């Protein structure tokens, strides 16, 4: 295109065609400005209000020196502020580095050093851990914000981030963000002693959102409850960000407490819920399950492990109006790879399903050759979902993407009609 048009025209066309994660919220806010977007505790945001908060936060980050390509670490339980920062960084092309809040200071220090983070936002209760990590990592200066979830100040050098979206420009920042500019740096250890930084771009994420929405039966009428950690790409990018893309309503809880889940489903008339099998089981076993109005619930999702057949049968018996989907994948796939759909749950119990819309999946032997149906092989994928690679690690990137496929490291067996079962060892 550069050869066809002058630089100014080329730049204008590029900006007009931009389709980054940050653009999704702005477009949804134009379609559904007064629709309820986010509920968290006493806070309720329409899409217009949520977009304004995100734009203000983006400008606040710019004022504090954060620019496209910089890394911002985020250490917090779920909150509406977490959601704001996820989209504010995307609008700026700032790379968000979500940090597992169960890690210790030394483990967080490694992530800070490796990512080269020039800023950090932490929940107030986790600020002491963050401070130790920053000190261990030898990080001085930079942006330090705290999310006031418990009402306690974080200490010297930390700034209350709620001030970032109470004032300032309401218009989106004018930052060109390309399809393959990195937006997320997700640290995953897998079988390694040190975590690897998985780089995800708008191309990776949005292609995955489309697969989730179409194969996962998602739409703008959903009211979804988000209780699993948003530092993990399953809750953040298979569900929350897809809801924003579609214009659905998101209800955020700090964690998956079964009593809070049941009460929130009834109060907010939740239609859609993602939980691993262990949490679904905790709901079924809770004494309030049978006395709580769960009649609004229509869609259920699980992942991380297969759902036991007896639990599947119990869910179908006690929640007969709820359809279930099993999502399987890896962080490097943003993270969706295969889906087991509602009509397949019992006939294909234990299966991870078939490749989702934008994914090609097969099994290979140690030499990268396809294995026959019924034989054990390594699970590999081709897809625009796939990550850009591992940050600052060409050797592991080359190993993971050899032969033009992403090699998951997982072993599986596939049927002739493409149903995948993951096997141990």
What are the tens digits of pLDDT across the range 300-329?
A: 999 988 999 999 999 999 999 999 999 999
pLDDT digits (tens, 9 = 90+) for 84-93: 999 999 999 9
- CA 139 from centroid of its chain's CA atoms: 27
pLDDT digits (tens, 9 = 90+) for 234-259: 999 999 999 999 999 999 999 999 99
Q: Where are the domains of the chain?
A: 17-341
Assigned token pair, 324: 């279930």
pTM, 2 dp? 0.96
pLDDT digits (tens, 9 = 90+) for 264-299: 999 999 999 999 999 999 999 999 999 999 999 999
- pLDDT at 4 (0 to 100): 87
Classify domain 17-341 at the CATH topology level.
Answer: Rossmann fold (3.40.50)
pLDDT grade for 121, boundaries at 50, 70 and 90: very high
pLDDT grade for 179, boundaries at 50, 70 and 90: very high
Residue 351: C-alpha distances to residues 65, 175, 360 (Å)? 48, 43, 17
Tell whether the model's pLDDT for residue 1 goes beyond 60.
no
Which of 234, 213, 221 shows the shortest CA–CA distance to 336? 234
Percentage of the chain lying above the pLDDT 70 cut? 98
Instruction: Quickly tell me which residue has 């530092």 as its tokens.
Output: 231
Element containing residue 29 per DSSP (H, E)? helix 21-31
- pLDDT at 194 (0 to 100): 84
Q: Are 339 and 327 in contact (CB under 8 A)?
A: yes
Q: Are 413 and 421 in contact (CB under 8 A)?
A: yes
Assigned token pair, 208: 């995955």
Residue 194: C-alpha distances to residues 59, 187, 189, 190 (Å)? 34, 9, 6, 9
Tell me the angle at which helices 80-92 and 21-31 cross, rounded to the nearest 10 degrees: 110
pLDDT grade for 156, boundaries at 50, 70 and 90: confident
Residue 189: C-alpha distances to residues 90, 100, 198 (Å)? 24, 11, 10
- CA 341 from centroid of its chain's CA atoms: 21
Q: Are 180 and 314 in contact (CB under 8 A)?
A: no
- pLDDT at 425 (0 to 100): 52
């Amino acid at each position: 295109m550069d050869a066809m048009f002058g630089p100014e025209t080329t730049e204008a066309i590029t900006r007009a065609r931009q389709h980054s994660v940050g653009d999704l919220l702005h477009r949804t806010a134009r379609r559904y400005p007064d629709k309820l977007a986010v509920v968290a505790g006493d806070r309720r945001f329409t899409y217009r209000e949520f977009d304004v908060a995100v734009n203000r936060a983006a400008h606040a980050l710019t004022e504090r020196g954060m620019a496209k390509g910089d890394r911002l670490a985020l250490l917090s339980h779920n909150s509406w502020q977490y959601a704001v920062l996820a989209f504010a960084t995307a609008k700026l092309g700032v790379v968000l580095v979500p940090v597992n809040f169960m890690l210790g200071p030394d483990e967080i220090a490694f992530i800070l050093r490796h990512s080269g983070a020039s800023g950090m936002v932490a929940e107030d209760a986790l600020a002491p851990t963050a401070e130790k990590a920053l000190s261990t990592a030898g990080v001085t200066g930079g942006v330090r914000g705290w999310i006031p979830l418990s009402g306690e100040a974080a200490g010297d050098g930390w700034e209350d981030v709620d001030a970032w979206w109470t004032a300032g420009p309401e218009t989106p920042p004018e930052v060109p963000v390309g399809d393959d500019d990195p937006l997320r740096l997700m640290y995953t250890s897998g079988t390694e002693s040190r975590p690897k930084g998985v780089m995800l771009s708008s191309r990776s994420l949005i292609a995955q959102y489309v697969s989730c929405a179409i194969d996962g039966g998602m739409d703008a009428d959903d009211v979804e409850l988000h209780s699993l950690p948003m530092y993990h790409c399953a809750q953040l990018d298979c569900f929350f960000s897809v809801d924003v893309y579609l214009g659905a309503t998101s209800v955020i809880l700090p964690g998956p407490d079964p009593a809070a889940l049941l009460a929130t489903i009834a109060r907010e008339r939740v239609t859609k819920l993602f939980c691993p099998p262990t949490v679904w089981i905790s709901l079924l076993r809770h004494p309030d399950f049978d006395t709580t109005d769960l009649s609004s619930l229509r869609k259920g999702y699980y992942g991380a492990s297969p759902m036991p057949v007896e639990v599947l049968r119990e869910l179908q018996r006690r929640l007969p109006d709820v359809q279930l989907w099993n999502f399987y994948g890896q962080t490097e796939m943003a993270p969706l790879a295969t889906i087991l759909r509602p009509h397949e749950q019992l006939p294909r119990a234990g299966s991870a399903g078939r490749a989702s819309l934008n994914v090609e999946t097969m099994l290979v032997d140690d030499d990268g050759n396809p294995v026959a149906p019924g034989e054990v092989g390594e699970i590999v994928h081709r897809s625009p979902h796939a990550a850009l690679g591992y940050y600052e690690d060409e050797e592991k990137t080359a190993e993971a993407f050899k032969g033009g496929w992403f090699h998951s490291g997982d072993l599986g067996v596939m049927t002739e009609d493409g149903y995948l079962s993951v096997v141990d060892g």
